[in-house]
Amino acid sequence: MVKRLLASHLGQIPDLHPRIKASELEAYAVPLGTIARIIRSRACGNPGYVTSIGLGTFVDPRNTGGKLNSATTEDICEVINLDDQEFLRYKTMNFDACIIRASVGDTEGNLTLENESLYSDPLLMATATRASGGIVIAQVDRLAKAGSLRAADVRVPAPLVDAVVVVSEPEHRSMGLYTNGYDPSLSGDVLMPLDEMPPLSMSEKKIMGRRAAMELGNHVCNLGIGAPEFVANCAQEAGILDHVTLTTEAGLFGGLGSSGLNFGSAHNPQARIELSQQFDYYNARALDSAFLGAAEIDASTGDVNVSNLGTDRFIGPGGFIDITQSTRRVIFMGTFTKKGLRVSAKDGALSIDQEGSIPMFKPIREVTFSGARALAQGQDIKYVTERAVFELTPQGLELVEVAPGIDLDKDVLAHMDPKPIVRRDTIKEMDPRIFQEQPMDLQEDFFRMGKGFKQRFVVREESSTCLFDASGLAIRSMQAVNAFMDDVNAVLSTITKDGAKKLDCVASYEGSEISSSLLEPFLARAKEVHEKYFSSVRRLGGKSFARQEMARAMQLVPNASIWEDLAEDRSTLSRKEFKEGLEKTFGLQFTEREIIRILGTDSGPVARKAFDRLVARAWTRLLAR
């Protein structure tokens, strides 16, 4: 029945694998973002889709062009040259039919998606199919009376839908996933308490997750399937997940990504957009970092294969190529050897109890990631395993870290062909905390390293105001006090020309924690900074920081006090009062556009319970100016 298959990930259609292997049907593996744009090009009536994504990989027509067998002979893309730059042009396709998923459909065919975990481009697919003269079939959980759905909730209008099929058996209802059932934390209807999640047991994946989590900053990130899924859990355990925005290529922002057959969805998402829109965001190089799995790595080039494992199973690239060619920092993760590997960690050291039979560092079958292209684009590439960490250089992979307890020659180099660059006098030891049973607290590391320290200071010349983002601060030792204050001094000395120009400082300590035993030395150093660089200092903070003894000693102005000054005994503020209150608090003017960004377009009053969140959002808008 199937003549031709165009897919990005083939792992969930195993019944077709024997037919692909036997060349009984034509089959292509193409990046997920590219497929979304091929559909879009048909919906728009464009003659094709032009992109740089895929150049230098197996989908480049100068390699295999994504063809999976001998029956597949037609080129679906070509290399073109525009303004002396190479691109791939994919041909537009026609669609005879499409099946889309929705939560509710009315008797006219209008569709809503309120109970879905993902928005998988149903409107785009329906439009492309209608433009091709095809039919559109929608599967829904419930049927509604015509006219009963709110217009704002309708994601696919009735004129694009030919048939609505209701899932009659409740146990067969899904949320657009491979598993059935309804989980309200995936749709965003309820918040799951993430702090009650059981800790991960020690394993090679947890070790990699911990080491990779050390690469997190105040970033927008993508986490791939497999080992990278552990990064989020390790970040949660280490107390830094709230400061990171995780995304999935399926269109989710925020929350904790799901794993296994639910991969792509997220518990407690902050926002959900269409899949094609997410790849627009990714391809615009908006991601700060990405953590992705690796099956095979060539140490001489840095090339990675995840799409072809040389077995009877066909994998494909999924969103891997879109993400790795568009992201500034990419961290690949995988065990050093596979099939049979057993490790244990004790007292801050790693032991290889049984070596795997398949090495990861070897000549690869297929290029899903091109090291040469990454170097040409100036990307920062790392490779994290349970026993060693590598960086991509123009000469190939360089070994930069080795786990404590590991023999460099026996446990690392003996399992690599070709060999990496090794400078024995500069190789560092992986952090021993990674290999200990107790939770790994990364808050202090995150604050000092995760966000470039200078980025925490924003100076408004017109008002001689300095905004200092001290959010997420975790100081629990005298060493941390001195390191923090030294960094503050270094930045302010440059900004103020060593104190020649005094500034009014507004500092945010939202989500920060400072040990009460460090009260006296911290305030002493803070007083020195104040006297040298500032005319005045106004310290702000939310509920959690305001409860601490340190907050009172620092004369913190909690959000609750700001609210009392503005609202007195009232439970709400008007938008105008909120705007004027912010301007008084920060000493800066807010534009109406910024107020809309903070409050949204709803003209209703501002409630007390939302004030902490809205002040934090206002702070973010100021820093982003």
Catalytic residues: 249
Residue written as token pair 């899924």:
229
Q: Reduced to 3 states, what is the DSSP secondary structure of residue 219?
A: coil
**From CA 612, how far away is CA 603, in angstroms rounded?**
19
Bridge-based pairing of strands 557-558 and 534-541 is parallel
**From CA 392, how far away is CA 377, in angstroms rounded?**
13
**From CA 79, how far away is CA 73, in angstroms rounded?**
17
Q: Which residues pair with 329 in a beta bridge?
A: 289, 380
| Type of residue found at 146 | A
Count of residues in the chain? 625
Asked if 470 and 442 count as a contact pair (C-beta separation under 8 A), the reply is no
Using alpha carbons, select from 417, 319, 324 the residue that is nearest to residue 369.
324
Asked if 244 and 235 count as a contact pair (C-beta separation under 8 A), the reply is yes
**From CA 116, how far away is CA 183, in angstroms rounded?**
9
Q: Reduced to 3 states, what is the DSSP secondary structure of residue 569?
A: coil
Residue 135's Cβ-count burial label (10 Å; 0-12, 13-18, 19+) is middle
Tokens of 47: 């003659």
Residues 6 or more apart whose CB falls under 8 angstroms from that of 584 comprise none
Residue 518's Cβ-count burial label (10 Å; 0-12, 13-18, 19+) is middle
CA distances from 209 to 107, 376, 616 (A): 48, 28, 29
Using alpha carbons, select from 423, 434, 428, 418 the residue that is nearest to residue 359.
418
